[in-house]
Amino acid sequence: MSENAQALVVYESMFGNTEQVAKAIGEGLRSKVEAEVIRVDRAPEVLPDSLDLLVVGGPTHAFSMSRPGTRESASAQGTVVMPSQVGIREWLDRLLPDDGTAIFATFDTRVTKVRKLPGSAAKAAAKVLRRRGVGVVAESVSFYVEDSAGPLSEGELDRARAWGASLAARFEPRGTGSTDPAVQPRRAT
């Protein structure tokens, strides 16, 4: 078995900005844990037994997670990087209530001009996870784009890498450090 904690980043992205953020989070995570980054339409519906951290993210559409209609609307606006059938909302709906994953974190992308408005896909995803009574839902973070199709605002990829690294820092290599179950890889034997 691997010595390191295992993380999975599942993302949705229409115009490619959230995809870039997800990959940067993955880079940050890999400073301390093993991390895979998977697009939501290719993500497993049953999470691997060995998973310690699940990070889920997508674009904010209509103040929340996207829906089929908002993804179709995005597809009508320009070139998109994934099909519109499945988003993180639908994927989270199918997750088992307690799959044993220790920690969850959510992120989204939003337009910087309206950052004072409350709607956030990350917060909506965290709410779903909390309601399902899964493990610890750690954080929800927004990353910003200049306009609907992008680009990402300056410094956001660095911030995403740093956030990934900060999530990874909660995990000690197996068999060392903290005995707090919230920061230990779940399956240490």
Ligand X SMILES: Cc1cc2nc3c(=O)[nH]c(=O)nc-3n(C[C@H](O)[C@H](O)[C@H](O)COP(=O)(O)O)c2cc1C
Dihedral of the alpha carbons of 108, 114, 118, 123, in degrees to the nearest 10: 0
User: Per the structure block, which two tokens stand in for 37?
Assistant: 């980054």
Of the candidate spans 17-25, 37-45, 85-93, 166-174, the one that interacts with ligand X by CB under 6 A turns out to be: 17-25
Question: Which member of 32, 39, 110, 123 binds ligand X (CB under 6 A)?
Answer: 110
List of E strands, the chain = 6-11, 34-39, 53-59, 103-111, 136-145
Q: Which distant-in-sequence residues (6+ apart) come within 8 Å of 135 by Cβ?
A: 98, 100, 101, 102, 103, 104
Interface segment toward ligand X; rule CB under 6 A; list 30-38, 95-103, 107-115, 166-174: 107-115
Q: Pick the stretch among 13-21, 47-55, 91-99, 157-165 that binds ligand X (CB under 6 A).
A: 13-21
Nearer Cβ to ligand X (32/61): 61
Residue with structure tokens 């519109």? Answer: 84
Question: Within positions 25 to 44, which residues make up the interface with ligand X, using CB under 6 A?
Answer: none
- Residue 30 or 110: the one with the smaller Cβ distance to ligand X is 110
4 binds ligand X (CB under 6 A): no
- Residue type, position 143, single letter: F
Contacts with ligand X, residue ranges (CB under 6 A): 13-19, 59-63, 70, 73-74, 77, 109-111, 114, 119, 145, 148, 150
